[in-house]
Structure 1
Amino acid sequence: MWESIGTILHGDPVDKKEVNRMRDLVLFEGPETKKKLVKFFCLLILSSGIATYGLLGDSVAVVIGAMIVAPLMLPIMGLAFSISIADRLAIKHSLLLSIGGILTAIAVGFILAWPLSNFFQVQNIDQVMVRTSPRLLDLLAALITGFAGAFAMSRHDVSDTLPGVAIAISLVPPLANVGILMATSNYSLALGSLLLFMTNYFAILLTGALLFGIMSFPKVAILKQSLSAKRSGIIIAIVMLVLIAVPLGYTGYNIFIDNSITQNVNEASINWLSGSGFEVISVDAESVNEEVILRVIGEGELPPIADLEEMIKGKLYGKTLKVEVVYSSTYFLDGG
């Protein structure tokens, strides 16, 4: 059954020639390695620079441009492919290259942002702040994008969709964001941005490797190997998938909990403030010290805190709710 599904997805049965084509496409090996590496790092540095200035300029269009130029998807899909065919050397090379790419993108963001760090406040830049923590939708999008990337690269007739895949999954912008936030000494926000990237990274690896497996690339790649080599390859693939799935599952669980808390607090707060002169500004379930921060603004008398406490009882998963109240006054002036 899986073979027929894989053939339908790939378009044709996978053979040794197709395995070699995929190796040439996503792996950095052979006589062209040096040329591929120069191209990769040049494009990565340029895309990281574009992303850095796009983020600082709060420009969605420029950030999208950086996503299109960014080549970081290639070694990640190469690692997913290597895991699926259980090639230890290819796994090592793809992993080292992707780590080198990650560090390069962060360094570019840091170097370009550091001289400008006194001229902006990152908390006032939407494109920066929106990339400081992973959301449940980010995780789901990354999982689907892993399938999309593997599907597009494994077929000759849909390679023109790769720019769309690059836009769908945000890889370089969160890394440039890490550099920006480190340059401005916002280390906790930088960690959140790195977590967003790692969520995308592990999700792409997991679903990409699974789809390559369904398409029968592993079966063809190890067809002529000895029985012990095949067993070793299967064990490597399983171990790598577990190493990917565990942190991804942990991150996914935390994202789910934070989203659940945010929804619970938001609904309870709206009911609590109903009929008063106050309204909810924001709910932050991802703050440090196991605190959930509720920010409200308004005028007049605040409803009893005990009412809110009763509404959220048992809905914070062990966290503490901190309520920050901003009192405001409204004045109407006669311009006549």
Structure 2
Amino acid sequence: MKFSLKQYLTHAELTPEERREVLEDLLVFGKHNRRQFLIRMAVLMTLSTVIATAGLLSDSAAVVIGAMLVAPMMNPVMGAAGSVVMGWSSRFYRSILLVLTMGLGAVLLSMAITALSPEIVFLPEQVLARTRPTFYDLLIALAAGSAGAYTITHKESGAIPGVAVAVALLPPLASAGVLIVALEMELAVRALVLFLTNLIAMVLAAALTFMAAGVSPASARRRSASFIKSQLWLFALLMIAVSIPLYFYSQKVIFDAEYKAAKSELLQSWLRENNLTLTGIDFRVEERIIFLELEGPNPPVGIRDLYERAKERAYVKNLDGDFALKYSWTQKVDGSWPIKSDEITEVALSDSKQENILLSNFWEWEFTQYDSERGAKPPADDSYIVSFEDRGKVRVTAACGSKTGKYTLRGRSIQVEMKRLDWFGCRKDKKLQVFFGDLQRGSEFFISDGRLQITLTTDSGIIYFKKR
């Protein structure tokens, strides 16, 4: 079958003079010119990599954009596309080899700069941004490759910087170097996938645009039909291949997740219910953790309710199954001066209301959280019920029996004393013994939305109860 693109595209041939000007912009002719060209590429690539790595490590988007403008990688990429449509196999392979060599050099130089820099505690957002390739990046690269070819054939040189910024070939390479030094190999692979996505899509889109613009004459297409056709098919297949990891990466990327979660009605209503303020939120996708920074007068008693509600919401599905909801809480109490005469009364009334709720309900133990990794909860076939009765009497009821003790309240402070930590019939219930021990280490209690929280002494944990 005779190869021709005319059946798909309306093709307008360039004049020989126009074609020569375009090819001179794309490729270097002559050994002397090639040597000067390679020296210029090496110098610019070194400088742009230094700028890009410094911008990434300092988390400066403006500096990274500056590195994109200095980086010379657009030239050999467009040269590879031009070589394909002209059927020049040797020039094509030289251009691709030059791009890959420049890419390897950028990664190695970035690694060296990162290794000499202060230790990285947190990966900068500018680095992480290059580890989230999606189909949008593929679409951008296709459009940028076509735009680059169009600007070259139509002498729209003013648009070239915009194309370089849009496709961003260098930052993923520099990011990969930073991530390798940080031993984040999976993220480094993702950054390299972004680079390959940009490279493959740009060459394919630019080659098709050059053909549509008439850069390749009919004689060249006939003479090198097999090479042109094979390379176009190869890059099309490579683009399909690189789309596979893009699909899976897209499932893990949370588009504006922090903003979306912070502004969600679910979280905002929970914050209002618990009289808390959100000061920060972080989606740690790799660890499947949502981390909340909270502040307010009382700790987040209803954190379990928030977890159960959030688990049903769409934005959490991107965490691929189970996730953990972690938080830090800073106590914040608002005040003013001079003090109004009734403010102390309001505090006393609030404490009295909490005490009345505590005494008028039965409380079922849900779990105890000691730290971010350790905790305890009752057996699945049993429940431990605590009731605070009049005259300082506390009662703990389990399937094996019931036991009483004493408690003392002073504002929000609570102290529980059980006469014995075991009794006949419950000696084998080890979890009940642990629960007794924790209950006696209680220091403060808070009640919100039908849930009781008792903080253990020396910040050693929190016991959570729900109203029975």
Range of TM-score over shorter length:
0.7 to 0.9
Aligned twin of 1:276:
270
> Taking CA–CA contacts closer than 8 Å with sequence separation of 6 or more, which of the two structures ends up with the larger relative contact order?
1
RMSD of aligned residue pairs (Cα, Å): 3.4
User: Are the equivalent residues in 1 in contact too, given 2:197–2:239 (CA < 8 A)?
Assistant: no
TM-score by length of 1: 0.80
Tell whether 2:88 aligns with 1:94.
no
C-alpha separation in 2, matches of 1:137 and 1:117: 34
| Partner SS, residue 328 of structure 1 | strand
Q: What per-residue deviation string (whole Å, max 9, x for no partner) do you get for residues 43-62 of structure 1?
A: 11111111111222222332
Tell whether 2:238 aligns with 1:244.
yes
C-alpha separation in 1, matches of 2:192 and 2:241: 14
User: Are the equivalent residues in 2 in contact too, given 1:3–1:216 (CA < 8 A)?
Assistant: no
Distance 1:241 1:194, change over 3 A: closer
Distance 1:139 1:218, change over 3 A: same
User: Are the equivalent residues in 1 in contact too, given 2:252–2:320 (CA < 8 A)?
Assistant: no
Distance 1:284 1:189, change over 3 A: same
C-alpha deviation, 1:261, in angstroms: 8.7
5+ long unaligned stretches in structure 1: 8-12
Distance 1:258 1:69, change over 3 A: same
Task: Compare 176-185 and 216-225 and name the one that shifted more.
Answer: 216-225
Aligned residues, how many?
318
Report which of the two has the higher share of strand. 2
Aligned twin of 1:22:
22
Task: Compare 276-285 and 196-205 and name the one that shifted more.
Answer: 276-285
Distance 1:311 1:46, change over 3 A: closer
Distance 1:260 1:28, change over 3 A: same
C-alpha separation in 1, matches of 2:88 and 2:47: 31
C-alpha separation in 2, matches of 1:50 and 1:38: 19
Distance 1:307 1:214, change over 3 A: same
Give the counterpart letter for 1:182 in structure 2: I
C-alpha deviation, 1:310, in angstroms: 4.5
User: Are the equivalent residues in 2 in contact too, given 1:136–1:255 (CA < 8 A)?
Assistant: no
Structure exhibiting the larger radius of gyration computed from Cα positions: 2
Q: What per-residue deviation string (whole Å, max 9, x for no partner) do you get for residues 10-47 of structure 1?
A: xxx32444444333222344332111111111111111
C-alpha separation in 2, matches of 1:147 and 1:235: 18
C-alpha separation in 1, matches of 2:18 and 2:245: 35
| Partner SS, residue 324 of structure 1 | strand
Distance 1:293 1:83, change over 3 A: farther
Report which of the two has the higher share of helix. 1
Distance 1:122 1:132, change over 3 A: farther
Q: What per-residue deviation string (whole Å, max 9, x for no partner) do you get for residues 206-227 of structure 1?
A: 22122112223344461563xx
5+ long unaligned stretches in structure 2: 1-5, 295-299, 338-468
Aligned twin of 1:183:
181
User: Are the equivalent residues in 1 in contact too, given 2:172–2:191 (CA < 8 A)?
Assistant: yes
Aligned twin of 1:322:
323
TM-score by length of 2: 0.59
Give the counterpart letter for 2:140 in structure 1: A
C-alpha separation in 2, matches of 1:200 and 1:223: 26
User: Are the equivalent residues in 1 in contact too, given 2:46–2:106 (CA < 8 A)?
Assistant: yes
Identity %: 27
Aligned twin of 1:108:
109
Aligned twin of 1:215:
213
Aligned twin of 1:129:
128
User: Are the equivalent residues in 2 in contact too, given 1:81–1:209 (CA < 8 A)?
Assistant: yes
